[in-house]
Amino acid sequence: MADKMEMRECYGQALVEAGRENEKIVVLEADLRKSTMGELFRQEFPERLFEVGIAEQNMIGMAAGFALTGWTAVANSFAVFASGRAFEQIRQSIALPRLNVKIGGSSGGLTDTGDGATHQSIADLAIMRSLPNMTVLCPADGIETKQAVQAMLELDGPVYIRIGRIEAPTLYDEDYKFELGKIVVMRPGEDVTLAAAGTMVGVALEAAKLLAKDGIDARVLNVHTLKPLDEGAILAAARETAGIVTVEEHNIIGGLGSAVAEVVSAADGGPVVRVGVADVFGQSSNCYEELLAAYGLTPENVRSKARSLLQKK
């Protein structure tokens, strides 16, 4: 297994593999198919790939039309446009009638590093999570991306999936089994919990190694499904450790941190500290790691937040 895999490639390949198994899958693209890697699907199934031009709102409406005539429709764009530009179309035309449409949010988080704030997506998980009937997925590596795509296509209903524009460190091997809605304990631990989603799962694992050097035993959770949230695993972590540090490549408002805090506070379950983009917009950088560091999305910052949480207890 390669130690790094391009998530977009894995996404595109997974769509192709699904397309071979299931003739009822169509893919819609808004002039970004060479970035989302829906292009791979076009190469093999040109008759089932529909280019709509730079028109995300119409793309979502068309995806609804395909779903209403018996197709499983996958509509891809950059996460910021797929979830934002077409939010209202997703709300009325997809989520409300509970249609079998999958929305691929590519270049999620800060992973469109160079393009800057306009193209970075730090609100997509919050807004997609707010829609009734919507399932929200955020896979952590290439292996999980492939399996999450398979799982979303097996589900009859609306799904939003966020994909990063990076070579993500490979966390899983091929015999990993993705279970929609079920948190994966990446590392057991009793002192503190690091709950991460997507590209931040790797960062949380690094943070756990740093904490281990400090003598702190951190549990690491991969919350690949933000909705429906695996409340049992969150509450167990809240109960069994001193508190939860959430880590996400997203605004600290509305995403994973909020989702975890909602569950924990309802159960009076102890502290939740949110690591994420602190309610500011992104910016350009020529280096992804530099950009992550500028917003505190580093193992060192996660370690420091976990340590201060433990000190307050």
Residues 95-114 that bind another protein (CB under 8 A): 96-98
Which backbone phi and psi does 283 adopt, to 5 degrees?
Answer: -165, 175
Read off the tokens for 30: 């808004």
Q: Report if residue 157 touches another protein, rule: CB under 8 A.
A: no
Read off the tokens for 233: 């695993």
Question: Using an 8 Å Cβ cutoff, are 121 and 83 in contact?
Answer: yes
CB closer to another protein, 64 vs 292: 64
DSSP codes, 226-250: EES--HHHHHHHHHHSS-EEEEEEE
Q: In the bound complex, what is the minimum distance in angstroms from residue 55's beta carbon to another protein?
A: 4
CB closer to another protein, 57 vs 304: 57
Catalytic residue among 6, 29, 56, 248: 56
Which residue has tokens 């193992």? 299
CB closer to another protein, 86 vs 125: 86
Q: In the bound complex, what is the minimum distance in angstroms from residue 53's beta carbon to another protein?
A: 7
Q: In the bound complex, what is the minimum distance in angstroms from residue 95's beta carbon to another protein?
A: 9
Read off the tokens for 257: 């941190």
Distance CA(48)–CA(175), nearest Å, equals 30
Q: Report if residue 93 touches another protein, rule: CB under 8 A.
A: yes
Q: Report if residue 193 touches another protein, rule: CB under 8 A.
A: no
Q: Report if residue 156 touches another protein, rule: CB under 8 A.
A: no
Output the CA angle 242-139-170, nearest 5 degrees. Answer: 90
Binding mask 47-76 for another protein (x = CB under 8 A): xx-x-xx-x-xx-xxxxxxxxxxxx-x---
Q: Report if residue 215 touches another protein, rule: CB under 8 A.
A: no
CA terminus-to-terminus distance, the chain = 41
List the one residue from 26, 200, 237, 261 that touches another protein (CB under 8 A): 26
Q: Report if residue 153 touches another protein, rule: CB under 8 A.
A: no
DSSP secondary structure code for residue 131 in this structure = S
Tell me, yes or no, if 249 is annotated catalytic.
no
Q: Report if residue 46 touches another protein, rule: CB under 8 A.
A: no
Which backbone phi and psi does 211 adopt, to 5 degrees?
Answer: -65, -35
Residues classed as catalytic: 56
